[in-house]
Amino acid sequence: MGTDEIIRTELGLLTWVAVTAPEKPSRLERRKQRTRAALIGAAQTFIAAGKLNAPVLEITQAADVGMGSFYNHFDSKEQLFDAAVAEALDAHGALMDRLTDDLEDPAEVFARSFRLTGRLFRRRPQESQIMLANGLQLLASDRGLAPRARRDIEAGARAGRFLVDDPDLALAVAAGALMGLGRLLRDQPDRDDAAAADKVTEDVLRMLGMDSAEATEICRRPLPDLDASLLSPM
């Protein structure tokens, strides 16, 4: 709760300011958070494995929680799966925001996000499989990569960096290229993921109207240390 603290004296009058300390979650709230996180994690594992028809009992057993605990958090398995996908998308979006926040050029923001996402297919296989399993349905999502890519395509067009008159169509083509890249890297484990991601990014930049030489140059620029970023707190 907030505590009133004297922070200064001015003209002989005391000035009081209410300083609100962040409330720590109670033991019950922490237990609820752990239970929800366990259910989300189990659901993400089932989605990645394509086990969408798994019964609630099997999911709760994988999460090591009781059936009653499940219904304290979710009304149905479908609601849980929706939340699991949303959290995976949010985590990916937050990571991309963090790794592009030093850039001002929307074309480079788009390119870096695409190149990094291509590299994440193998570094985060479960989250990537969730993305691939949901496929182009994610185009309509207001979370994760799609809204950020649309934002960057539109900003790039306004800035004259891209020659795009239909951002939704451009996004659909870019998303198709990304999904195709992800499946290729999954099916061909010996393929160089970094080289493949950069080559596909170049092709997408050209599709967006960038000239070939600049697309190649942008895709040769250094990237943040992705492995270190995955280990650091969000």
Residues 150-177 pLDDT 10s: 999 999 999 999 999 999 999 999 999 9
Q: Find out whether 35 and 27 touch, Cβ atoms under 8 Å.
A: no
Residues 138-157 pLDDT 10s: 777 888 888 999 999 999 99
pLDDT attached to residue 18 = 45
Q: Find out whether 135 and 167 touch, Cβ atoms under 8 Å.
A: no
Give 30 or 203, the one with higher predicted confidence: 203
Show the CA angle centred on residue 227, arms to residues 221 and 233, nearest 5°: 115
Q: Give Cα 232 distance to the centre of its chain.
A: 15
User: Average pLDDT for residues 10-31, to the nearest whole number?
Assistant: 58
Q: Inform me whether the pLDDT recorded for 194 exceeds 70.
A: yes
Q: Which of 58, 160, 72, 151 has the alpha carbon at shortest distance from 109?
A: 151
For the chain, the average pLDDT equals 86
Residue 166 C-beta-side C-alpha neighbours within 13 Å: 7
Q: Which of 144, 142, 161, 145 has the alpha carbon at shortest distance from 153?
A: 161
Handedness of CA 140, 141, 142, 148 (dihedral sign): negative
User: Average pLDDT for residues 195-204, to the nearest whole number?
Assistant: 98
Show the domains of the chain with their CATH numbers. Answer: 26-74 (1.10.10), 83-222 (1.10.357.10)
Q: How far, CA to CA in Å, does 36 sit from each of 1, 65, 107, 173? A: 26, 9, 38, 36
Whether the model clears a pTM of 0.75, i.e. scores above it, the answer is yes
The span from the CA of 89 to the CA of 60, in Å, is 22
- Residues contacting residue 46 through CB under 8 Å, at least 6 positions apart: 52, 54, 58, 59, 62, 81
User: Average pLDDT for residues 13-33, to the nearest whole number?
Assistant: 63
Can you say whether residue 201 is alpha, beta or left, with left for phi > 0 and alpha for psi between -120 and 50 degrees?
Answer: alpha
Query: Phi, psi at residue 2, to the nearest 5°?
Result: -75, 150
- Residues contacting residue 76 through CB under 8 Å, at least 6 positions apart: none
Residues 33-55 pLDDT 10s: 899 999 999 999 988 888 889 99
Q: Inform me whether the pLDDT recorded for 215 exceeds 90.
A: yes
Q: List the structure tokens of 177.
A: 């290229």
User: Average pLDDT for residues 196-201, to the nearest whole number?
Assistant: 98
Residues 66-113 pLDDT 10s: 888 899 999 999 999 989 988 888 888 899 999 999 999 999 999 999
Can you say whether residue 11 is alpha, beta or left, with left for phi > 0 and alpha for psi between -120 and 50 degrees?
Answer: left
User: Average pLDDT for residues 214-225, to the nearest whole number?
Assistant: 96
Q: Find out whether 167 and 110 touch, Cβ atoms under 8 Å.
A: no
